[in-house]
Amino acid sequence: MRQRAKEQDANIRRTNFEPVEENFTYEQAKLEAQRCLHCKNPQCVKGCPVNINIPDFIKALKEDNIDKAGEIIRETSMLPSVCGRVCPQERQCEGKCILGIKSEPIAIGALERYVGDNTTAVIPEITPTGKRVAIVGSGCAGITAAADIRKAGHEVTVFEALHEFGGVLRYGIPPFRLPRNILDKEIDNLKSMGVKFEKNVIVGKSITLEQLKDDGFDAIFLCSGAGLPKMLGIPGENLNGVLSANEFLTRVNLMHANEQQTATPLRVGEKAAIIGGGNVAMDAARTAVRVGYKTVYIVYRRTEKELPARLEEIRHAKEEGVIFKFLLSPKEIIGENGYVRSMNFEICELGEPDESGRRSPIGTGEFLALEIDTIIVALGTGPNPIIQKSAKAEGIDFDVDRKGYFIVNPDTRETSIEHIYAGGDVAPIGESNAINAMGAGKKAAKAINEYLAKL
């Protein structure tokens, strides 16, 4: 039987930002590890974007060699405690587990988290090469690339625009999903390896790409995230009380705007509606519950079956009192004295599946109004154009797609400009999540190391 992590009672956890789940106990980890079949052709590894040797780390855990399990994971991933908490395992490694065909898959994420939390990275001996690499952004892609490039002996400097490190892991993911001490531990591991971190540096404003080159960096990896929120584009969107999920989560997670003694307090109303159905929408809704909204809606234009968020996130949101409204498409925001008072939605139905298999919502001509004083838009983000515009002014003209994302070689992550690479949300391939960003970081690091070895 698959082991279950102990969770805070929903009525208690909705009032705090403490972790929802506890780690496995030793007994639970051992029992869960013993369920693994150690397949000769492990599909779970193929389902992992960074190809962690899952059967071998579980085997080491089964044999009571947790330090070896940690070493095996960190051969390919420097963020086991993070990935064990935030990766969509049900669609990746666990989704490929053979046991899942007739039973329940191995709890790979929980085991990875257990190993990550209970082991420390072994700092490798590093032989300096004299080569230097600049990494723009300290999120998943940047941290992963920094580790692999530093292991090869190159000097690595990570530039972060914000006043704390971690990128979206810090400002986007709430601490009840990813405790800050866990994130700090992973970053401290990199610092111990000799990776340098500089905060409050906006590449494209504080310093340009040309200046980075002039400062002696031999290669540059751009992974600054996608910080430009996508909004609704409907009447009333400029009213007070309409926020992007990016702004809302950043203000709470990074700036502590929900706390009493803060320079930029959050205005908390009675009823909030989160527009969207992904993991960011769930994070925003569950955060809204915790900061004091009495009623919190998730409004999604398809049905529950089509929700893209993790099943665990959906379950947790429901347990915490979030109300789900399906088949509603936003049409107009109504205000009073400059503030949001209600929102009109068109009732939808799903049409026939298209070539991708997705069923698009179709308006019925009937409408529904909800009394709301805060609207949080969680429809995704686009690339911030600061770097591209700054580079173009210097005569560096990147190839970008129609949405503004960097066009890169999918195998090396090199952009159209030699020795400048891009990955993560500025050049996404596949689903936008932590583990795919890490995969991009590993590809970029491999290509950079191969290039620098020839210099």
Question: What does the pLDDT read at residue 132?
Answer: 98
Q: Answer yes or no: is pLDDT of 179 > 90.
A: yes
24: domain CATH number is 1.10.1060.10
pLDDT in tens, 197-219: 999 999 999 999 999 999 999 99
Question: What does the pLDDT read at residue 47?
Answer: 93
Domain match, 243 and 373 both? yes
Domain match, 216 and 156 both? yes
276: domain CATH number is 3.50.50.60
Domain match, 312 and 412 both? no
pLDDT in tens, 440-450: 999 999 999 99
Q: 429 lies in a domain?
A: yes
Q: Answer yes or no: is pLDDT of 313 > 90.
A: yes
Domain match, 102 and 177 both? no
Question: What does the pLDDT read at residue 231?
Answer: 95
Domain match, 352 and 392 both? no
Domain match, 366 and 262 both? yes
The residue out of 348, 377, 406 marking a domain boundary is 377
The residue out of 356, 377, 398 marking a domain boundary is 377
pLDDT in tens, 268-291: 999 999 999 999 999 999 999 999
Q: 123 lies in a domain?
A: no
The band of 124, judged by pLDDT with boundaries at 50, 70 and 90, is confident
Domain match, 253 and 348 both? yes
pLDDT in tens, 6-48: 999 999 999 999 999 999 999 999 999 999 999 999 999 999 9
Domain match, 416 and 361 both? no
Q: Answer yes or no: is pLDDT of 431 > 80.
A: no
pTM: 0.94
Domain match, 30 and 161 both? no
Q: 214 lies in a domain?
A: yes
pLDDT in tens, 314-339: 999 999 999 999 999 999 999 999 99
Q: 2 lies in a domain?
A: no
Domain match, 42 and 100 both? yes
Q: 126 lies in a domain?
A: no
Q: Answer yes or no: is pLDDT of 385 > 90.
A: no
Q: Note down the domain range covering 65.
A: 10-118
Q: 127 lies in a domain?
A: no
Domains: count for the chain: 3
Domain match, 364 and 235 both? yes
Q: 125 lies in a domain?
A: no
Q: 4 lies in a domain?
A: no
Domain match, 245 and 331 both? yes
The residue out of 377, 399, 425 marking a domain boundary is 377
Map the chain to HEC letters: CCCCCCECCHHHHCCCCCCCECCCCHHHHHHHHCCCCCCCCCHHHHCCCCCCCHHHHHHHHHCCCHHHHHHHHHCCCCCHHHHHHHCCHHHCHHHHCHHHHCCCCCCHHHHHHHHHHHCCCCCCCCCCCCCEEEEECCCHHHHHHHHHHHHCCCEEEEECCCCCCCCHHHHCCCCCCCCHHHHHHHHHHHHHHCCEEECCCCECCCECHHHHHHCCCCEEEECCCCCEECCCCCCCCCCECEEEHHHHHHHHHCCCCCCCCCCCCCCCCCEEEEECCCHHHHHHHHHHHHHCCCEEEEEECCCHHHCCCCHHHHHHHHHCCCEEEECEEEEEEEEECCEEEEEEEEEEEEEEECCCCCEEEEEEEEEEEEECCEEEECCCEECCCHHHHHHHHCCCCCCECCCCCECCCCCCCECCCCCEEECHHHCCCCCCCHHHHHHHHHHHHHHHHHHHHCC
